[in-house]
């Protein structure tokens, strides 16, 4: 089983990404859970969301406290939120940033896998908006190998309709451009 914690800000689409990923995993024949962590959040406030994916039935129904992967949609949260809290020592940290994986590793003193991509820049170029949630799904799929990139197509098309291809293009670019430091 792979457990992922997403860090973002209200309105950045973390919950949408979690839902799209879970729906796509189920359609691909896997078992999945996707759920947010809600409190008194408002647009712009830090939020967290979670995904579990496995090849067999998932019986656990608790929160995710020791994720295999942490994905940070907004790098301004680093320092504001302890994004590596509970992340397994051999876990994977994926950050939407223009910084290199080496810079993030040093900044957070994290020795597991660190991967970075300018998801916001890609989203702005491919979709015309700086919302990188679907873009970063591509980064997650590349780093984890949990599913093929093509498995996202139907869910993205159903959710985004006429702008789906822009989202798919952005996702593919993040998949291709992510820098990974093991």
Look at the chain and report how many structural domains it folds into: 1
**Phi, psi (degrees; rounded to nearest 5) at 107:** -60, -40
Q: How many angstroms separate the CA atoms of 174 and 156, rounded?
A: 15
Q: Is the pLDDT at 79 greater than 80, yes or no?
A: yes
Mean pLDDT, the chain, whole residue set? 95
- Flag whether pLDDT at 73 surpasses 90: yes
Q: Percent of the chain, pLDDT > 70?
A: 97
CA 34 vs. chain centroid, Å, equals 12
Mean pLDDT to the nearest integer, 69-98: 96
pTM of this prediction?
A: 0.95
Res. 156 pLDDT band, cuts 50 70 90: very high
Which of the pair, 178 or 41, is modelled with greater confidence? 178
Q: Residue 141's domain is classified under what CATH number? A: 3.40.920.10
Boundaries of domain holding 16:
2-181
């Amino acid at each position: 089983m792979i457990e992922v914690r997403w860090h973002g800000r209200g309105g950045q689409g973390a919950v949408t990404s979690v839902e799209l990923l879970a729906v796509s995993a189920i359609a691909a024949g896997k078992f999945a859970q996707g759920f947010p962590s809600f409190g008194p959040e408002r647009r712009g406030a830090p939020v967290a969301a979670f995904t579990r994916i496995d090849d067999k039935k998932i019986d656990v129904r608790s929160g995710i406290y020791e994720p295999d992967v942490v994905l940070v949609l907004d790098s301004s949260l680093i320092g504001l939120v302890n994004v590596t809290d509970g992340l397994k020592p051999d876990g994977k940290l994926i950050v939407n940033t223009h910084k290199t994986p080496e810079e993030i590793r040093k900044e957070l003193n994290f020795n597991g896998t660190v991967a970075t991509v300018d998801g916001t820049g890609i989203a702005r170029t491919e979709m015309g908006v700086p919302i990188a949630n679907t873009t970063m799904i591509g980064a997650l799929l590349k780093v984890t190998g949990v599913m093929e990139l093509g498995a996202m197509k139907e869910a993205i098309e159903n959710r985004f309709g006429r702008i789906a291809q822009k989202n798919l293009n952005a996702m593919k670019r993040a998949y291709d451009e992510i820098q990974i430091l093991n």
